[in-house]
Amino acid sequence: MIYDCDLVRGRGESMKAPDREADEAFMREALVEARKAADKGEVPVGAVLVCDERIVGRGRNRREAAQDPVAHAEILAIRQGARHLGSWRLEDCSLYVTLEPCAMCAGALVNGRVRRLVYGATDPKAGFCGSLGDLVQDPRLNHRLEVESGVLAAESAELLRGFFAELRSGERKTSKQRGRSGSLKTV
């Protein structure tokens, strides 16, 4: 399913080059996904994959619910976008994500040939797009992404801070703590 982001279209015209207004509009869509993750007891990270100014993939963290270590927002948005576009090559796409991607997600961006990464908050403990390393711009690799960081960083960081503060205080429970461990039956 394609989602129009009317916020970045002016009177039906299509924007040709990325700009701050468009970046913020798509980042707000990623924040919507992050809030949905938080509502389900997941770490609030959200992502949208954009191609030709249209959202072609959405993702939010689902590691707890799916009991899947790779169910990160970025991976889910990339998978949905690739299915929609019918190609693993996402050369004309941009990924908007509320938190700097980890090494796994950075690798998926490179392998998917995503053109551009826009992220909100930096992740000094796991971020691999500038913080701990910079996989997406490593000159030894055959593909590098354009990167824009800090877009709606305060909102993204506050969502994460609030989530973890509630978790520490006991006001919030993860899906696992609520009794939905997602354990699988042996076949």
Q: Which two tokens stand for residue 54?
A: 């249209």
Pairing of strands 116-121, 93-99: parallel
DSSP state of 47: E
DSSP H helices in the chain: 20-39, 63-66, 73-85, 103-111, 153-169
DSSP H helices in 59-183: 63-66, 73-85, 103-111, 153-169
Q: Which of 115, 95, 118 is nearest to 19 (CA)?
A: 118
Residue type, 145: L
**How many degrees, rounded to 5, is the angle at CA 59 between CA 62 and CA 46?**
85
If one counts every other C-beta atom within 10 angstroms of the C-beta of residue 159, the result is 24
Q: What is the C-alpha to C-alpha distance for residues 83 and 56, in angstroms, rounded to an integer? A: 9
Q: Which two tokens stand for residue 71?
A: 């169910």
Is 74 an active-site residue?
Answer: yes
Catalytic residue among 29, 33, 64, 74: 74
Q: Catalytic site residues? A: 74
